[in-house]
A = this chain, B = another copy of it.
């Protein structure tokens, strides 16, 4: 298979004609072939028209057919074999095992959504049977199901070239819901995107679905991205990336004549709480776990532990010492792109102006490498300086030393919204933790005990979301099966003859759904 540099508008490989994008190997700064020219306004328009024309038919595909489509995508991604792995490694600087693992996760994610689609639970079928004799007025026959919103624009992330990109969680959940998808590929991995995009298009063809179910565009966010969000046929947006990028998409979506929902996952520093008893009994183990989580993948995770909160004292000092020793031996790692590397240096520079550096990793030996840094500050300084809670994407973390449990609480109330919050505790810390929980529940989408926030399971109970600015919509998760709920809206059918009802609502319950029937959930 040879990369072509083409976009995919339905089944058609079409070259863009705007500014060229090339993948760059961040380990060498070498530009990779081929060039990917950005899409024109007309090409965006064409992809939207095609998606719109596919919507009414795709959204009524039988659940089994839609599930098989998601499985076919997984099969096609796997069939790309080593070419995908090699290209993704070259475009991201991530090591082979990480990319192989991410491919596994991506395909498992698609198959998990296939299982979810088959179950039909997300249709949330509710039936209220008629009461013709009711006084003073009879009750009609009322039935509710969820329907998909419409074509969805997906913006892939830089840091997961497979799992949060062309066939990643946003795409999988939108397709599962019955929404056609147009992906704006992340410019950091265009070759990976082309390969996966072609895999999706093959699955569309193999399953006999309409062309417009999937398109893949290249180009800049400001040009192709905003044109997509402004198109009246796009009805929702999925995005993983920077706070500024996410907010720009939200603003564009709100300024439309018909505003649409944007699910932007943006920025989180993922506070980690070290409670006194845990810190006393195992500060070294905690330090090891912390440094491993902090430096994994050069810290390029949305859930990277960028903030540690604890009460000062000898136990915390021991934690800091151990972590510092480990960090000083931690090798610099290639970051995803030159831009991300530059932003990391800037962010670290800002932290260094306002907090004390206590340890740094080994210095960079090649281009775009991330040297890890650990900072420390006092709670009063943290409370007084909003810049100290800006996300620095990479292996940097800030320890906030508090003078008391009350001050830990105050720091917590001061935090912006987060994807995660982690509690390290022993039995003696339980009451302390319990007192903090209500605040943490208001601040974060996922709370962990005695673990590390990096590593986000794809399952029913996962929440990868949280209050602003962690995401633009705290009511949702972008990972796990509940992600499908983002792309649905309810429709009620009143007094419909059975033959005119959608299958899911027909009297005989042909899909064997567990309906909410006259207030009771069916067994």
Contacts and interface: CB of A to CB of B under 8 A. Distances in A.
Interface of A: 56, 60, 101, 115, 119, 121, 124, 126-128, 136-137, 139-140, 142-144, 147, 149-150, 250-251, 254, 258-259, 261, 417, 430, 433-434, 437-439, 441-442, 444-451, 455, 457, 459-463, 465, 467-469, 472-477, 482, 488-497, 499-500, 514, 516, 519, 521, 523
Given A128-B459, A259-B250, A430-B497, A445 B491 contact: yes
Given A475-B489, A490-B445, A490-B477, A142 B462 contact: yes
A121 to B, nearest CB: 7
Contacts of A491: 441, 444-447, 463
A521 B513 CA distance: 11
Nearest to A482: B490
Given A126-B482, A261-B475, A460 B516 contact: yes
Nearest to A518: B460
Contact of A462 (B447, B468, B492, B519): B492
A320 to B, nearest CB: 25
A142 B464 CA distance: 12
A3 B56 CA distance: 55
Contact of A490 (B261, B465, B488, B500): B465
Nearest to A253: B254
A469 B256 CA distance: 12
B258 A494 contact: no
A267 to B, nearest CB: 13
Given A121-B521, A258-B467, A142 B430 contact: no
Given A150-B442, A259-B250, A516-B460, A496 B447 contact: yes
Contact of A493 (B60, B254, B447, B459): B447
A457 B495 CA distance: 13
Nearest to A139: B457
A303 B434 CA distance: 48
A294 to B, nearest CB: 18
A48 B378 CA distance: 31
Contact of A459 (B136, B137, B142, B441): B142
B417 A258 contact: yes
A434 B56 CA distance: 12
Nearest to A469: B258
Given A150-B442, A448-B494, A449-B495, 10 more contacts: A119-B519, A121-B521, A126-B461, A140-B451, A142-B462, A258-B468, A437-B500, A449-B493, A449-B500, A467-B489
Contacts of A441: 147, 491
B101 A492 contact: no
Contact of A460 (B433, B450, B499, B519): B519
A118 to B, nearest CB: 11
A115 B519 contact: yes
Given A460-B126, A475-B261, A499 B142 contact: no
A444 to B, nearest CB: 7
A147 B500 CA distance: 37
A149 B468 CA distance: 12
Contact of A521 (B139, B492, B514): B514
Contacts of A476: 489-490
A326 to B, nearest CB: 21
Nearest to A439: B56
A144 B476 CA distance: 12
Contacts of A139: 457, 459
Contacts of A149: 474-475
A364 to B, nearest CB: 29
A489 B485 CA distance: 12
Contacts of A126: 460-461, 482
B455 A137 contact: yes
Q: Which 8 A-B pairs have the closest CB atoms?
A: A463-B492, A142-B461, A144-B461, A126-B461, A56-B438, A448-B494, A446-B492, A128-B459
Q: Among A137, A143, A254, A460, which residue has the most Cβ atoms of chain B within 10 A?
A: A460
A463 B490 contact: yes
A496 B455 CA distance: 16
B488 A475 contact: yes
Contacts of A519: 115, 119, 460
21 contacts: A56-B438, A126-B460, A142-B459, A142-B461, A142-B462, A143-B461, A147-B441, A251-B254, A441-B491, A444-B491, A447-B496, A448-B495, A449-B494, A449-B500, A451-B494, A465-B489, A465-B490, A474-B489, A475-B489, A476-B490, A482-B490
A482 to B, nearest CB: 6
A290 B87 CA distance: 65
A492 to B, nearest CB: 4
